[in-house]
Structure 1
Amino acid sequence: MTVNSSGNSSGLRWLVLGSTGFVGSAIVAELRDRGFDVDTLSAPRLLATAETAGLLAEEARAAAASAGATFVSLRQAFAGADVVVNAAGLATPGDGESPALTGANALLPAVIALAARAAGVRRLVHLSSASVQGHRRVIDEGSDRAPFSAYSRSKALGEEVLELLAGESAAPAGETGALPETGWVTVRATSVQGPNRPTTLSLAKVAASPLASVAAPGTAPTPVSSINALAWFVVETGQHQGVVPALVLQPWEGLSVSDVLAAAGGRTPLRLPEWMCHTVLSGGYFVSRLLGERLHGPIRRVELMWFGQAQSPGWAESAGISPAPAVRGVLERAQTARSARQKV
């Protein structure tokens, strides 16, 4: 693993894992724009076959107790950091179960947390996904989870193992490296979009086509959000001076399902009967289960396009740190970028 440092000091020293990824690079850019001292770290690759948070916690504790190479290198890299952000992981919603997926999204966060505790990091911000709550109509900051795919299950396991480890007794008073339980914060990102992200460009393509449609009446709220707002929110969460809950949800940016398609495609979407949309989705998920959940990712995207998903106001709203909505502009830029590519 290689640590790279950049930026002028502005109080806190930050370290971002997964800094070359879609989310990690945006967080690094936000931090540097604000003048923070930022280190970047490439995430180690771990494999895990455990299917429960308990077994994953045992693996993480064993790595720490035996001074495993990954744990030691992380602890050394974290030395002197005030805030560590874990933006690493495998973002593969359409893939099946694999040791690499579980290792990246469930075991690695646990090892990172224990290394952060040992290094005396003041706050760890772990990036999770609202997909862990599955198909429920309203997502929130609760610990109840209903993952529906290999990807969402791996992210749910990551949340669960951190809860398990945080619930254990902290190091004795006065021991170097003790970290309060409130020092570990999981941020559930929603459906994050970026103007050049392949997922967003695909959305823009659908939105500009005759396939652009919503379940009538088309006013359902949607968790579609912007990378700009997520990066801003992660930084605010990491530097917040008060107590931050162990689990927080990325704030809603105010769009409905019709708003999203109109911004991304420049046209008013077709309104389909609600019953027909439910029937199509039920059939699609049934076929996908027969194929080992291979189609769950794209079907879920259609479900969000038609029905959206509401979210309860959470800690961000109560703390008064909600980001300025930016998703409409991101979607409009994606539409422009897609049109420019078509002309080339």
Structure 2
Amino acid sequence: MTQYLSSPQESSSSEPSGVWVVLGSSGFIGGAVCAGLRAAGITVRTVPAPRLSSSARDAAGILGEAAGLAAVRAELAAAFAGASVVVNAAGLATPGGADSPALRGANSLLPAVIAEAADDAGLRRFVHLSSAAVQGHRPFLDESSYVQPFSAYSRSKALGERALAARTGRGCSAVTIRATSVQGPQRPTTAKLARLAASPLASVAGRGTAPSPVSSVDSLVEFIITVGQYTGDVPGVVLQPWERATVAGVLEAAGGRSPVRLPAWLCRSALWAGYRLSALAGERLHGPLRRLEMMWFGQRQVSGWAEATGSVPEPRVQDVLRSLQVREPAGR
């Protein structure tokens, strides 16, 4: 069992104004990470993520491909020089997309190449952003190595995690953060959630008290900074902490109305049939079905490193969702 350190001294950085490198700064989460780091007084260096392609299907194959990309590694190591932490927020966020060499290159091979370059540059920590989707439909999320990917996207993310875990004897501390369902004012999926929550289609299974993994980008950024600055040991995989939201609470905050309560058996039957139809169609409906599953049933999160070390960020998801409530035009 992993032993967590809880010393207050180990949860703070001795060099809060050091240089951090961020890959994927043009994306939703990467841009928020850069803004949060600058607000914390940390110097940010943005580095473009190389576009990679991978034919590998396992961790050994990914590491073999990474070892063969010496020129890419050297270029990244030069860009990392003088920094202390690198954050990888790059990748292809395509939950409903099909498998491809580009998807595996961005979500599986790129993290391994960055980790090798971080070692070459002598960085202290590499923070890689993965997705809680790697654990699929299981009843709860945790920080274990167990994964149950259910789509091309989640399989590519899980493969990236396995490749990082397979690296041994390295100098740079590599930490994978499994981000949950991250929401923010500038994210299109958040706007879609608000519209859905305000519509008659907003519904939950049973009483709606099941925990929801819906979270806020601000709390994720705070957690990333905490992990990067932590001077003690951090496990190879940590889960973004739960923000204490329920499935009904998410819809009520985002839509300003109470969702419809549906029989749980009916919801499970609909999902069972939907996933089987989607499998016959090449998993094309897996993304929408997964969102529906999360709206109805949510997913419980097991307490982990953040809770054990007092590193849980302030929950902000309710405020984010309330700020995006869809309102009727005046006079209607």
Q: TM-score, normalised by structure 1?
A: 0.90
User: What do you get for the CA RMSD once the two structures are aligned?
Assistant: 1.5
Structure 1 residues 342 and 145, CA, compared in 2 at 3 Å: closer, same or farther? farther
Aligned with residue 162 of structure 1, among 161, 164, 167: 164
SS at match of 2:46: strand
CA distance in 2, matches of 1:121, 1:339: 48
Aligned-partner residue type, residue 124 of structure 1? F
Give 2:5's aligned residue. Answer: none
Q: Judging changes above 3 Å, is the alpha-carbon distance between structure 1 residues 18 and 341 closer, same or farther for their aligned structure 2 residues?
A: farther
- Give the alignment partner of residue 97 of structure 2, picking from 84, 95, 99: 95
Alignment partner, residue 62 of structure 1: 68
Distance 1:140 1:304 in 2: 16
Q: Are the equivalent residues in 1 in contact too, given 2:16–2:229 (CA < 8 A)?
A: no
Equivalent residue, structure 2, for 1:302:
292
What CA deviation, in whole Å up to 9, does each residue of 1:191-234 have, x standing for no partner?
Answer: 00012311111111111111000000210001000000000100
Give the match for residue 3 of structure 1: none
Aligned equivalents of 1:253 and 1:342: distance in 2?
33
Q: Name 2:9's counterpart in structure 1.
A: none
1:43 aligns with 2:33: no
Shift of 1:309: 0.2
CA 1:82–1:212 in structure 2 vs 1: closer, same or farther (change >3 Å)?
Answer: same
Instruction: In structure 2, list runs of 5 or more residues that go unmatched.
Output: 1-14
Contact 1:105 1:155 (8 Å CA) reproduced: yes
Q: Tell me whether 1:119 sits opposite 2:115 in the alignment.
A: no
Q: What is the aligned partner in structure 1 of residue 33 from structure 2?
A: 27
Show the counterpart of 1:253. 243
Q: Structure 1 stretches of 5 or more lacking a match?
A: 1-8, 171-178
- Partner of 1:38, secondary structure, is strand
Q: CA deviation at 1:11?
A: 3.2
Give me the identity figure in percent: 57
Query: Once the 2 structures are TM-superposed, how far is the Cα of residue 339 of structure 1 from its aligned partner?
Result: 3.9
Give the equivalent residue in structure 1 for 2:10. Answer: none
Which residue identity lines up with residue 12 of structure 1 in the other structure? G
CA distance in 2, matches of 1:161, 1:125: 14
Question: C-alpha deviations, 1:227-273, integer Å up to 9, x for none?
Answer: 00000100110001111111100000001000000001000000000
Q: Is the 8 A contact 1:10 1:37 kept in 2?
A: no
Structure 1 position 10, deviation (Å): 4.6
Q: Which residue of 2 aligns with 1:142?
A: 144
Asked if the contact 2:241–2:303 (Cα under 8 Å) also holds between the matched residues in 1, the reply is: yes
Distance 1:340 1:103 in 2: 44
Q: How does 1:73-88 map to 2 (within 5 A)?
A: 73-88=75-90
TM-score (norm 2): 0.93
Q: When the two structures are aligned, how many residues end up with a matched partner?
A: 317
Structure 1 segment 206-217 matched on structure 2, within 5 A:
206-217=196-207
What is the aligned partner in structure 1 of residue 308 from structure 2? 318
Structure with the larger RCO, 1 or 2 (CA within 8 Å, 6+ apart)? 2
On the 8 A contact 1:196/1:334 being kept in 2, the answer is no
